[in-house]
A = this chain, B = another copy of it.
């Protein structure tokens, strides 16, 4: 095979060291915050039985699942008739496993399988890749990481408030300043459909309203009409699009009167108020938090709060979302476990930070030293210098071969190694070594102890 033919599957990526250091910075920031808020780590297998995954993500989702060919003679138990029935029938016969499509369904499966051992409320976080056979495009990959935190087994609204606090904590730590946390409540959306005399049709309503940002109000109303909402219904909904303005408090006040005939709607307003109060108690900057009555996130399984974060001033938009679901585990035979969760989109956050140039040098480089030498003797002596640096946990390496000074310094430059220690015969005698700062071009003569304290 020649180098020219080599490649990786469409929609997947290699991450080189520079990208990895930046990605790790994002992951570890998120993980530290999750831990700080009392979430515990969990991991599930990359492969799940297909029976666990199918039917959970809608028909489109089923088609986007990666299926794994059974090992050995996968045709062994397949009849010629089954082959003639085409690929859909055959899939179930030749593939019993699939790759994880998200972290939520495997988590639900885990909770159901282990609910006798779990102490509820159960707060877990999970940072793992997921796979979707989607059409690749900018910002959409076939393998990407999700960073989820969920609490199951309580319907306390403090969980929603803590999610808001966590989002702010993560984005503050990543130095992302310009963002909006949008919050809504499914019960308010239900209430609106009640007021519209279209009770029970909130799924249709949400799917259309979810596109408001992308296609505008005119097209949303068109779509709603196509979905069978009457002109009268839509007229009743118009205040939602036109009159919900001002501060969060003003919007909620308007809705309280608009929804006064809907118990569900009033409950939704009450929940949002409670969450805003808790957010205040948690001493969180409220300026990023925006109640948005049109936020729907297309996901029909949310039953309470709906949350989304948008980075402002960049094309990309949503960098995470979540909400409350009252029946996560019901599909696996364990009803009545309420949960609320949030997922950070690491790839999106990376792209936003890159666009806004938020990756500082500090993020890029693990402080590092290259020991440079001139001959066999100074190489051998350099090894003891290296041992001393590493004993002090200072990342360091030695150029592994006899090579010209220029080549060794070139290596340090290209790798972004910020410090170089030169070891020659004079240095071996005096036990003072030139420590060269590659960024500033400055050089100091220091003992090994002085070098250690300078670099630490």
Contact = CB atoms under 8 A, between A and B. Distances in A.
B71 A68 contact: no
Interface string A397-426: 110110000000001001100000000000
A69 interface: yes
Interface residues of A, number: 110
A366 to B, nearest CB: 5
A301 interface: no
A384 B131 contact: no
Interface string A238-254: 00000000000000000
Contact of A20 (B42, B66, B76, B400): B42
A72 B135 CA distance: 12
Nearest to A284: B387
Interface stretch (A118-126, A310-318, A320-328, A445-453): A118-126
A143 B100 CA distance: 13
A69 B70 CA distance: 9
A366 B90 CA distance: 48
A76 B397 CA distance: 54
Interface string A1-27: 111111111001111110011001000
Interface string A22-51: 001000000010011110111111111101
A428 interface: no
Contacts of A336: none
Contacts of A69: 66-69, 91, 94-95
A35 B393 CA distance: 10
B48 A401 contact: no
Nearest to A69: B67
A333 B2 contact: yes
Interface string A54-83: 000000000110111101111110000001
Contact of A49 (B8, B14, B154): B8
Given A42-B17, A49-B7, A66-B68, A281 B169 contact: no
A171 interface: no
Interface of A: 1-9, 12-17, 20-21, 24, 32, 35-38, 40-49, 51-52, 63-64, 66-69, 71-76, 83, 86-87, 90-91, 94-97, 99, 109-110, 112-115, 117, 119, 121, 123-124, 129, 131, 133, 142-143, 151, 154, 156, 158-159, 165, 169, 278, 281-284, 331-334, 366, 368, 370, 380, 383-384, 386-387, 390-391, 393-398, 400-401, 411, 414-415
